[in-house]
A = this chain, B = another copy of it.
Amino acid sequence: MGIKERKERHKEDLRQRILDAAKVLFLKEGYEATSIRKIASAIEFSPTTIYLYYKDKNDIIYTLQKEGFKVLRTKFSALTNVDDPFERLKAMGRTYLQFSIENREFYELMFIMKEPLEYLQKVCGIEAEQWDDGVEAFNFLVYTIAECQRAGYFKGHDTKMFSLLVWSTVHGLSTLNMHGHITHVVEKQLIELKDGAQILDAAFDSYIKFLEQIKG
């Protein structure tokens, strides 16, 4: 029935429609629950049709990953008009944390899950495009840190290494939060504080206060 009705509808952009269906499923239910059969049923096609447009499931997931990196890069490039480098650094951190909260599944895809990474290595080697957005984001961080150093912050530290450490801290906060460890630590009264949403902000504020202190 469904198969018959959609036949008179447009059948172009099928590749995109597959991706859209996959995205909806993925963002709502996560990687595991996003099965080829569910995607197929969402677009009213047979499961095997999907293999005419994507090599395999990881190919789809990898394409979504690219999208995630693009979104993050876009959010970052909106911060280029923040002149003060330290303020920009703060804004970048908040943007990153916010992204990890609002786009949790994307974040896992981009930085945690091994599936898209494995696909990437097998198919593309090391030269892959989606990472360009990631690389650009990292370079933006390095550039900002360098500017901060010119303004008197973080003196005597290797710029790129320091950037990596800043990324680590924010990434660590994101993932500890995403996986419930921060909430847990609060619930066990190891840290006395308000609710889970606020503690992340408080932790980041502490971090900024901490960074601010590293003047020459």
Q: Which residues of A contact B (CB under 8 A)?
A: 111-112, 114, 117, 126, 131, 135, 138-139, 142, 157-158, 160-162, 164-165, 167-173, 175-176, 179-182, 184-185, 187-188, 190-192, 202-203, 206-207, 209-210, 213-214
B209–A157 touching, CB < 8 Å:
yes
28 residue pairs from A and B, CB less than 8 Å apart: A111-B175, A111-B181, A112-B112, A114-B179, A117-B180, A126-B187, A131-B184, A131-B188, A142-B190, A157-B206, A157-B209, A158-B206, A160-B191, A161-B206, A162-B210, A164-B176, A164-B182, A165-B210, A167-B176, A168-B170, A168-B172, A168-B173, A168-B176, A168-B203, A170-B172, A171-B172, A172-B175, A214-B214
How often does this chain occur in the complex, in copies?
2
Nearest neighbor of A161 in chain B, beta-carbon distance = B206
> Please, which residues of chain B bring their CB within 8 A of the CB of A169?
165, 168-169, 172
Nearest Cβ on chain B to A199's Cβ, whole angstroms: 8
Question: Please, how many angstroms separate the alpha-carbon atoms of A112 and B209 in the complex?
Answer: 28
Nearest Cβ on chain B to A30's Cβ, whole angstroms: 9
Interface SS of chain A: helix
